[in-house]
Structure 1
Amino acid sequence: MKYLVGYPHGCVEQTVSKLFPQLYFEDLAKLVAPEMYRSNNPVYYVKEGIRKIESMQLYDGSIAYWQGGTESNWWGSVYAAHFLVEAKKAGFNVSENVLNRLMKYLSQKAKEQSTFDYVTYLSTGRTIKKIANKEIIYSLYVLAMAEQGDIATMNYYKARPHLVSEDMRYLLAGSYALMGRWNAYYEIVPNAFTPERTDRLTGGSFDSDIRANAIMLNVLLQVEPANKQIPQIIKYLTQNADRMYSTQERSFAFLALGKAASLNADANVVVDILVDGKSINKFSGKDLTVTDSKLNAANISLKASGNGEVYYFWSAEGVKVNDKVKEEDSNMRIRRSYYSYNTGRLIPDKGFYQGELIVCKIELTGFDRNAENIIITDLIPAGFEIENPRLNPATELKWVSKNPMNVQYMDIRDDRLLLFTNLVRNQTKEFYYLLRVVNQGTYQLPVIGAEAMYDQEYHSYHGAGVVKVLQRLGE
């Protein structure tokens, strides 16, 4: 949860993934990430998140992928609608106009009958089959939640189960349950849990096996919390927690596990917290936070008594001494070089002059696979400032790229430049921006990094070193 609440980027999917935990588990959010709420509480951030999502609505009712952008993501729009419906039910003020236009968009898209090639892994091996876009079934579920269920379209997929993946069967069944049609629910929902195994997607519906199984658990906890499959799915998710990477996986898994934990609200468990064998505190039903210096470098044990289940987490923070980022290329390569703006010469030795204007060239190379939603993070050295994040194509720089990077969104901060783009297989894309060398001295040069936000197999880190800024020329 702390990862979600503190996630630093803000496309529509990531924005909603940060908001859902704060909507459902306000007290827990303050407990696990107190530094986020020194000036405001989760209610404030939920309200601000609602306003942000509303401001991202496009002409057709969908939600833009990036704030200020003109392109939407279907799954992101359904996900945002899911949140807004839940927020409205929780008593938050949601624009009726925005919600109605968004629901109209979902209703229209759900009728498309579009399909795609879906990869799943069975006991017989890897299988590819045509199924309905997962966004369709998710749209039907959210429409049912909003009391605008589309029975005709639901019946179409109920009669064609070969078009529905295992996780979407739960969503389709849940749609019927939300509309009070329990006979149809029991006809569709599987009688036993079989883990859904599929490929991880870097874009589109952001699919993965963790997310798929977490959705199944969410549906059961929503409509049939006594279902016998629930403990099995919880066990599967907890055993695979170390593979949770993306905000989608963490959000759906946390929401499901959080709902499951709330079912144990009547537990009467008492837990003694022992440090080196001595009790320093006791849990007896109310949320407890222990931040004692005695915990440092000690043996900590928990001794429980009573009936029921309770959950705990621990967090350690600090800066490692002489810790270095491992420089490597996995499925892509990121490189950075500097040039003099005035002379066009490459600056290979990382030696600069105070007041000098330099051009930073960023090159992103794809290997043998495409990937979406790549974030490039270029941390600049202390003593440097970003002068101009974009070079005008008319600039008289001889190396202005013939292969410009398609930057979908750019975030300029005091100490870094963030670029969001896609990876193109077997191609190198380039981006240029200007830096001003401000202060004399010797500074650490952090690595430049690139990674897929939804698949950790795609990453590249390179270029750590030291830069020296000498006295201004002529002085």
Structure 2
Amino acid sequence: PLMVLASFPRMLVPGETLHLPVTVFAMEDNLKTVSLKVNTNDLFEVDNPEQTVTFSKQGDKVAYVDIIVGDKVGVGKAHLMVSSGDNSAGYDVNIEIRNPNERVYQTESHPIEKGQSWKGKLVFMDNAFGYQLKATVSRLPSINLERRVKYLIRYPYGCVEQTVSSVFPQLFLSKLTQLSDEEQSDIEGNIQRAIQRLNYYQRSSGGFSYWPGSSYLTDWGTSYAGHFMLLAKEAGYYVPSELLNKWIGYQQKMSSRWSFDGNASYHFDLEQAYRLYTLALAGKPNVSAMNRMRSNHRMSRAALLRLAAAYALINEKSTADELVDEAGKTSIENHSYYWYSYGSQTRNKALAMETYLLLNDKAKAYQLFKEVADDLGSSSWMSTQTTAFALYVVSLFSDNRQEENFVFSYRFDGNEESIESKKPIYSLKLPAKDNKKLIIENQSNQMLFLNVEISAIPNPGQEVNKANNLALMVSYHDMKGNTLDPKQLQQGKDFYVKIGVKSTALRNYKNLALSAIFPSGWEILNTRMVDVGKGLKSSYANYIDIRDDRVNLFFDLNHKGDSKVFYILLNAAYPGRYYQSPITCKAMYDNTINAATGGGMVEVDE
């Protein structure tokens, strides 16, 4: 005769308050007084955990319970119990508590001479939670291994390049550092899932699209996916033969069709050289296409070095050496088209470094290794493509060097241990204790490098307004088009957000990502970006990713002043006080193009 129901959002954010409507059903006339109790785990606090609901006859009534989200993330659990006399009923809710902010890192690096030690106090950053503390001791210069790998794994989007980049260096991570059984199992699962996911990108031709299901094929992404599959298969992972054979057929066809008219950058010679490299790696070299490309003398330096790598793979060392010599003399670069291959100077250094390793030119490889390692070890932003290739070649370089084990000891928070490492990098996972002293002593006959990394997730913050080479305009409207303030809305109100993006520089903007994460108390109403109302039609986007709490849109802007406008239909569904993340837009492979606006707290009134 008693029943209780509650309607929760799909997720909540630390610091939010949910004014939870709880519906109590009394299905007999003699149930006059009903006790409502709410119990939760430690992720929630309840302002009014016990209430009395009175009935004059059978029916239903709504009681409101204020649930305050603490400063932890995880799964929040609430148990609602109603009772009257001998009658009772319960209702259980599990809800994800997540922080939309990205984890931030503070790192410091220190060389430690043989027989010397380093001492320092580790102090946490303010206004954050979820602290993690890691330290690595290495015979290699610091490469921020933990941060760079986590960046790839946690990257929020899922094009073919980012799917491959997230796992590409994981193929070789065990060569760089020690891994627990659990970590190794996680890596194996990540790699196998990525291989399975590649099925969604491969088209009937054998080429790979940039987004799953898209008709647009990406030359670089196709070669990159195949490169990964070949290395994964060599490492012992199962790669479906149909997936691989269709890719090989596509690469052979496209490499034979490719032509060169003398304009190196415009016709993407690096993409053809990489294609030929992957065929050579697969044991299916297109020698005629390689020779035809070699006969051209207007290739960019990066393409010459990648073609040299292809010749090195088929044991044509003298030809490869000639191409390397030519690369040293040319002044032609193709960096104007980095967007097409998702590249950068550091990525191209990594490609060149692999060529030198294949040719056993240790001096040139070492020089580039120092530059690539310096870039990895800095606090500078790197794209997913650059990060993945940089980590890959560092592992290749390390694997090519036979060096003795190194020994060090550490003291932290009452713990002390002496460690001998067989791998180039040893990772210390330290307890997250604030304001504690760490001591590292080098007990080896070589210099060691210490990297200390403190990370945390910032608490939900205030409004943000920044623009770099991009204009971002956001406004909110009711269904009649009138402007409204989203900071305070009535429960049940339908409204929409209008997001405008405009190019402000004299160049093409490729691979832009717009991310709109909405408050927990709002719901996204439409399943696709369709007409919100008369005359309100969103601009074309290359790909749309709609999730429970956010909409991600991916598109290009092709000239200065080019713009896009997007409309998203929303509903103020759950009363309470919620965090609104800034709406952001950025170029995924160029950190100089970005904008963000909005943020802060919003309220939904009952």
TM-score range, shorter chain: 0.7 to 0.9
Q: Find the partner of 1:57 among 202, 210, 214.
A: 202
In structure 2, relative to structure 1, the CA distance for the partners of 1:389 and 1:200 (3 Å cut) is: farther
Residues 146-184 of structure 1: CA distance to partner in whole angstroms, max 9, x if unpaired? Answer: 111122221223232x33222222221121121122221
- What is the one-letter code of the residue matched to 1:113? S
What is the CA-CA distance between 1:202 and the residue it aligns to? 6.2
- What is the one-letter code of the residue matched to 1:384? W
In structure 2, relative to structure 1, the CA distance for the partners of 1:289 and 1:391 (3 Å cut) is: closer
Q: Which residue of 1 aligns with 2:63?
A: none
In structure 2, relative to structure 1, the CA distance for the partners of 1:232 and 1:38 (3 Å cut) is: closer
Distance of 2:405 and 2:177 partners within structure 1: 23
Q: Which residue of 2 aligns with 1:16?
A: 164
- Greater strand share, structure number: 2
In structure 2, relative to structure 1, the CA distance for the partners of 1:256 and 1:309 (3 Å cut) is: farther
Q: Which residue of 2 aligns with 1:409?
A: 543
Q: Which residue of 2 aligns with 1:44?
A: 189
Quick one: percent identity of the two aligned structures?
27
Q: Find the partner of 2:385 among 238, 243, 248.
A: 248
Q: Is the 8 A contact 2:464 2:582 kept in 1?
A: no
Task: Check if 1:180 corresponds to 2:180.
Answer: no
In structure 2, relative to structure 1, the CA distance for the partners of 1:28 and 1:211 (3 Å cut) is: same
Task: Check if 1:224 corresponds to 2:359.
Answer: yes
Q: Is the 8 A contact 1:30 1:42 kept in 2?
A: no
- Greater helix share, structure number: 1
Query: Which segment drifts farther, 163-172 or 432-441?
Result: 163-172
Q: Secondary structure at the match of 2:348?
A: helix
Higher relative contact order structure (alpha carbons within 8 Å, sequence separation ≥ 6): 2
Q: Is the 8 A contact 1:115 1:130 kept in 2?
A: no
Distance of 2:439 and 2:241 partners within structure 1: 51
Q: Which residue of 2 aligns with 1:377?
A: 515
- Tell me the TM-score normalized by structure 2: 0.68
In structure 2, relative to structure 1, the CA distance for the partners of 1:462 and 1:361 (3 Å cut) is: same
Q: Which residue of 2 aligns with 1:5?
A: 153
- Tell me the TM-score normalized by structure 1: 0.85
Distance of 1:305 and 1:264 partners within structure 2: 21
Distance of 1:198 and 1:267 partners within structure 2: 40
In the alignment of these two chains, the number of paired residues is 450
Q: Which residue of 1 aligns with 2:253?
A: 108
- What is the one-letter code of the residue matched to 1:459? N
Residues 217-250 of structure 1: CA distance to partner in whole angstroms, max 9, x if unpaired? Answer: 12333x2345221111012223333445211110
Query: Which segment drifts farther, 78-87 or 101-110?
Result: 101-110
Q: Which residue of 1 aligns with 2:370?
A: 235
Q: Secondary structure at the match of 1:398?
A: coil
Q: Is the 8 A contact 1:196 1:213 kept in 2?
A: no
What is the CA-CA distance between 1:422 and the residue it aligns to? 1.3
Q: Secondary structure at the match of 2:456?
A: coil
What is the CA-CA distance between 1:328 and the residue it aligns to? 0.8
Q: Secondary structure at the match of 1:147?
A: coil
Q: Which residue of 1 aligns with 2:481?
A: 344
Q: Find the partner of 1:355 among 492, 504, 507.
A: 492
Structure 1: gaps spanning 5 or more residues: 119-128
What is the CA-CA distance between 1:351 and the residue it aligns to? 2.5
What is the CA-CA distance between 1:113 and the residue it aligns to? 1.5
Q: Find the partner of 1:456 among 591, 594, 601.
A: 591
Distance of 1:13 and 1:170 partners within structure 2: 22
Q: Is the 8 A contact 2:300 2:334 kept in 1?
A: no
Distance of 1:215 and 1:317 partners within structure 2: 30
What is the CA-CA distance between 1:321 and the residue it aligns to? 5.5
Q: Secondary structure at the match of 2:312?
A: helix
Aligned-CA RMSD value: 3.1
Residues 325-380 of structure 1: CA distance to partner in whole angstroms, max 9, x if unpaired? Answer: 75211111222222222x33221363311011111221111113321111111111
Residue correspondence of structure 1 range 127-142 to structure 2 within 5 A: 133-142=269-278
Distance of 1:8 and 1:105 partners within structure 2: 29
Q: Secondary structure at the match of 1:66?
A: coil
Structure 2: gaps spanning 5 or more residues: 1-148
In structure 2, relative to structure 1, the CA distance for the partners of 1:309 and 1:193 (3 Å cut) is: farther
What is the CA-CA distance between 1:201 and the residue it aligns to? 4.8
- What is the one-letter code of the residue matched to 1:434? L
In structure 2, relative to structure 1, the CA distance for the partners of 1:232 and 1:431 (3 Å cut) is: same
Q: Which residue of 2 aligns with 1:163?
A: 298
Q: Secondary structure at the match of 1:53?
A: helix
Residues 85-144 of structure 1: CA distance to partner in whole angstroms, max 9, x if unpaired? Answer: 1122222222222222211211222231246856xxxxxxxxxx6675211000111111
What is the CA-CA distance between 1:39 and the residue it aligns to? 11
In structure 2, relative to structure 1, the CA distance for the partners of 1:314 and 1:225 (3 Å cut) is: farther
Residues 61-84 of structure 1: CA distance to partner in whole angstroms, max 9, x if unpaired? Answer: 101111122211110001011111
Q: Which residue of 1 aligns with 2:552?
A: 418
Bigger Rg, which one:
2
Shift >6 Å, 4+ stretches: 191-197
In structure 2, relative to structure 1, the CA distance for the partners of 1:29 and 1:445 (3 Å cut) is: farther
Distance of 2:359 and 2:433 partners within structure 1: 41
Distance of 1:295 and 1:309 partners within structure 2: 28
In structure 2, relative to structure 1, the CA distance for the partners of 1:202 and 1:229 (3 Å cut) is: closer
Residue correspondence of structure 1 range 66-465 to structure 2 within 5 A: 66-111=211-256, 112-114=258-260, 133-160=269-296, 162-190=297-325, 199=335, 201=337, 203-221=339-357, 223-225=358-360, 227-241=362-376, 242=378, 243-264=380-401, 266-274=403-411, 280-286=416-422, 288-293=426-431, 296-307=434-445, 313-320=451-458, 323-324=461-462, 326-341=464-479, 343-348=480-485, 350-368=487-505, 369-393=507-531, 397-401=533-537, 404-424=538-558, 425-465=560-600
Q: Secondary structure at the match of 1:429?
A: strand
In structure 2, relative to structure 1, the CA distance for the partners of 1:258 and 1:295 (3 Å cut) is: farther
Q: Is the 8 A contact 1:373 1:422 kept in 2?
A: yes
